[in-house]
Amino acid sequence: MVIDTGNTGFMLLATSLVMFMTPGLAFFYGGLVGRKNVLGIMIQSFVSMCITTILWFAIGYSMCFSGNVADGTDFFGIIGNFHNAFFNGINSMDPAPINHTIPIIVFIAYQMMFAIITPALITGAFTNRVKFKAYLVFLVAWQLFVYFPFVHMVWGGGILADWGVLDFAGGIVVHATAGMAALASVLYLGKRRIKESIPHSIPLVALGTGVLWFGWYGFNAGSEFRVDHITALAFLNTDIAASFAGATWLFVAWMIEKKPKFVGLLTGMVAGLATITPAAGYVSVSDAAIIGIIAGLVCYYAVELKNKFGWDDALDVWGVHGVGGSLGTILLGVFASTQVNIHGANGLLYGGGDFFFKQVVAIVFASTYAFSFTYIGLAVINKFMDVKTTEDDEEFGMDEKLLGEHAYASGAL
């Protein structure tokens, strides 16, 4: 194998950026919750960095990327085989499957960072309602039965990839599955008994948003797995969509709520980032701007709909990631063009009605499955251990009751 040092160096940087997103998410969520639950929500993101890495080493990578449906070497196109469990048979000089100019170990590390952050996204729906031990069990189960199968089906040569479904960087695999899992969690857990005044620290939310946006360049541009014009396109589209979505959310909320809201601006930015993710390398810059505007509008009203129904999704995971990821996947089916990326497809606007249909079917399937498994999974876990926190836990906060720690010294904030 001849290593391209430019591609390899870029992918190592992209891997580092995606890793940085998980602490960014922890700060984003930590700022949004009340001050008695800061550590309780942040530890759920940080612990995924450890648990998911162990799981990825043991069987995760192999379940995602060993075997394929075309050769009949996986399990029914749904999950890979276990030939590479514990990185068995992986040589540091082997080429990556998607780009032979970078080592496979770089590909393994990059994909691992996606696996780390995806279940962490769901935790925004757990706000001071889930015991830490139950969360650890859920984390492992959700990876095994939701995330790993969808990685294989979409990116690992499984049935959805074979059918022609596209997802550049995770609209289906990451955001839709996590967002729908969050909605299932909210409905299963019910409303919090004690609602704190949130967010307790908007500056922390802003810091988390900045880190997430910065890391998202590695998330989207890195998904090209090389340095070329599509890499640059995905990078620019990421910025364009986030900017248009943030501005759209800000001004819509301003008109309706009569004041510009900083948290609204930040939330709109993240909605734009989630929505452009599946389409980043397949659509033009002008289409990315349109996608950003649509994301700002649709995700804002999704959150309003959540409020109307009384769903206690305190950090709006469903409205931002679930709706955003699903919307972006469908809009990819509208705006995709082989004139932009020869390895993509033509969307509805370019005569690709069949491709649009496949994208819609894929997102409905992924969303339905992720929602159903999560709801049933939490119920099953609850048979063996308490999933929900008690009223006493909520009264004193997760930091004190479940962790025995405090985010701030007495009198701070």
CATH topology of domain 5-399: Ammonium transporter fold (1.10.3430)
Residue 37 carries which side chain, given as an amino acid letter? N
Per-residue confidence band for 203, with pLDDT thresholds at 50, 70 and 90: very high
Is pLDDT at 411 greater than 90 in this prediction? no
To the nearest 10 degrees (0 to 180), the angle between helices 38-55 and 104-122 is 150
Residue 148 carries which side chain, given as an amino acid letter? F
Per-residue confidence band for 197, with pLDDT thresholds at 50, 70 and 90: low
Spatial separation of the C-alpha atoms in residues 65 and 80, rounded to whole Å: 6
The pairs formed by 97-105 with CB atoms below 8 angstroms and a separation of 24 or more are 97/65, 98/225, 99/7, 99/225, 99/226, 100/1, 101/1, 101/2, 101/3, 101/4, 101/7, 101/8, 101/226, 102/3, 102/4, 102/7, 102/8, 102/11, 102/225, 102/226, 103/1, 103/3, 103/8
Give the model confidence (pLDDT) of 242-266 as tens digits: 999 999 999 999 999 999 999 999 9
Eight-state DSSP code of residue 283:
S
Is pLDDT at 400 greater than 60 in this prediction? yes
Q: What is the mean pLDDT of the chain?
A: 94
Region of 316 please: left (phi>0), alpha (psi -120 to 50) or beta.
left
Give the model confidence (pLDDT) of 331-372 as tens digits: 999 999 999 999 999 999 999 999 999 999 999 999 999 999
Read off the pLDDT of each residue in 224-230 and give the average, rounded to a whole number.
97
Spatial separation of the C-alpha atoms in residues 156 and 165, rounded to whole Å: 12
Give the model confidence (pLDDT) of 133-184 as tens digits: 999 999 999 999 999 999 999 999 999 999 999 999 999 999 999 999 999 9
Q: What percent of the chain has pLDDT over 70?
A: 98
Per-residue confidence band for 15, with pLDDT thresholds at 50, 70 and 90: very high
Please answer whether residues 292 and 276 qualify as being in contact, where contact means their C-beta atoms are separated by less than 8 angstroms: yes
Spatial separation of the C-alpha atoms in residues 299 and 305, rounded to whole Å: 10
